[in-house]
């Protein structure tokens, strides 16, 4: 299922396809805003829904909506049609958020194998990365807009069909399921667990910041005069280099604690952005690769720390709450990036790096004060 969800060659020529269907750049911005707003609004309610109902049902519906969005794109030639497709995709993403990892954890819990959670998260992410790389390469080779979208639609249909085979594990706890009045339960749980709050803060900041490497590395490469024919290789490296980090995450826990790893990686990401801003050049792409390696470690470690602590009754709700905060963090980083981009792209990276480092310093000081007390 994860393989076919990520095997979407349409993303390779997404902007070209949209342009061929009369969607302007301004309309692209509006559509991206629509997607972000839907995800932020629906993240927590759908997490609550996942905890009230079967998690596999939300995964099935969410995957089906993503497939439906591509069906709509294939037949759309107007802004209204594309808005409908993006709305379906945003709702589908919100439905899947939190439910998948909750289903995975409780499946392992049922078999008494929760210690393998980080390993399985890493493996699933690796499957998605490899599929995304294959989709990017095949999408570039096909270079046919209509065919790319047809193949993507077929792949997502297969993912939807695979989701029908998911099995809901037996709930380990027998507590009464939450009501809609408890929609803030996930936020409260994270807030009252100070160690988890600090880890969540680091997770949100590091992942949110790295999002701007994903979005703008091409402009950086262009500005440091990297030939465009290297872009495909750079994209592939930035994806593949995350695989070792995904697989190493459970091994790293045998060396030291999750909070030390995440705090260290936070500093690494922050300083990486500072170096990109202060010393722009082609060697900066090597720094980006190093940052991508570090970011591959973050998700399995954090999700393990979260799911090992959170009770089953609010498992999906809590992860959805963190995901909502992550999207909010990306919006705030976007404002920081926009201020820097008013000067240069390098200044934008520098501003993000300074923001991350200041955050890490604050978190470190607070942690030391709590240890002292």
pLDDT tens per residue across span 46-65: 887 877 777 888 889 999 99
Q: Is the pLDDT of residue 357 over 50?
A: yes
pLDDT in tens, 66-83: 999 999 998 888 899 999
Per-residue model confidence as pLDDT tens digits over 279-312: 988 888 999 999 999 999 999 999 999 988 888 8
176: tokens are 């009464």
Does the pLDDT at position 173 exceed 50? no
Long-range contacts of residues 167-171, Cβ cutoff 8 Å, at least 24 apart: 167/56, 167/107, 168/54, 168/55, 168/56, 168/103, 169/103, 169/106, 169/107, 169/109, 169/110, 170/110, 171/106, 171/312
SS3 at position 91: helix
**pLDDT-above-70 percentage for the chain:** 91
- pTM of the predicted protein model: 0.81
């Amino acid at each position: 299922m994860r393989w076919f969800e990520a095997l979407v060659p349409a993303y390779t020529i997404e902007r070209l396809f949209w342009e061929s269907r009369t969607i302007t750049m301004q309309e692209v911005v509006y559509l991206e805003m629509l997607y972000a707003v839907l995800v932020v609004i629906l993240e927590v309610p759908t997490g609550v829904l996942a905890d009230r109902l079967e998690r596999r049902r939300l995964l099935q519906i969410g995957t089906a909506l993503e497939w439906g969005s591509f069906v709509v794109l294939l037949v759309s030639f107007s802004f209204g049609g594309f808005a409908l497709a993006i709305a379906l995709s945003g709702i589908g993403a919100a439905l899947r958020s939190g439910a998948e990892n909750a289903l995975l954890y409780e499946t392992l819990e049922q078999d008494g194998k929760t210690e393998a959670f980080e390993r399985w998260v890493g493996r699933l992410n690796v499957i998605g990365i490899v599929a995304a790389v294959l989709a990017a390469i095949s999408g570039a080779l096909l270079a046919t807009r209509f065919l790319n979208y047809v193949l993507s639609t077929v792949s997502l249909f297969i993912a939807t069909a695979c989701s029908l085979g998911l099995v809901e594990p037996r709930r380990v706890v027998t507590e009464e399921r939450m009501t809609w009045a408890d929609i803030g339960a996930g936020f409260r749980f994270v807030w009252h667990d100070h160690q988890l709050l600090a880890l969540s803060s680091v997770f949100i900041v590091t992942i949110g910041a790295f999002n701007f490497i994903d979005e703008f590395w091409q402009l950086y490469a262009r500005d440091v005069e990297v030939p465009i024919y290297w872009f495909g290789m750079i994209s592939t490296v930035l994806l593949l280099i995350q695989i070792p980090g995904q697989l190493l995450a459970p091994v790293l826990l045998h060396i030291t604690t999750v909070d030390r790893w995440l705090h260290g990686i936070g500093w690494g990401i922050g300083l990486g952005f500072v170096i990109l801003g202060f010393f722009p050049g082609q060697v900066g792409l090597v720094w980006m690769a190093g940052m991508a390696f570090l970011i591959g470690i973050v998700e399995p470690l954090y999700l393990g720390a979260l799911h090992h602590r959170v009770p089953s009754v609010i498992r999906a709700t809590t992860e959805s709450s963190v995901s909502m905060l992550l999207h909010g963090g990306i919006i705030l980083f976007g404002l920081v990036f926009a201020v820097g981009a008013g000067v240069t792209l390098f200044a934008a990276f520098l501003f993000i790096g300074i923001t991350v480092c200041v955050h890490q310093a604050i978190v470190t000081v607070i942690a030391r004060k709590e240890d002292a007390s």
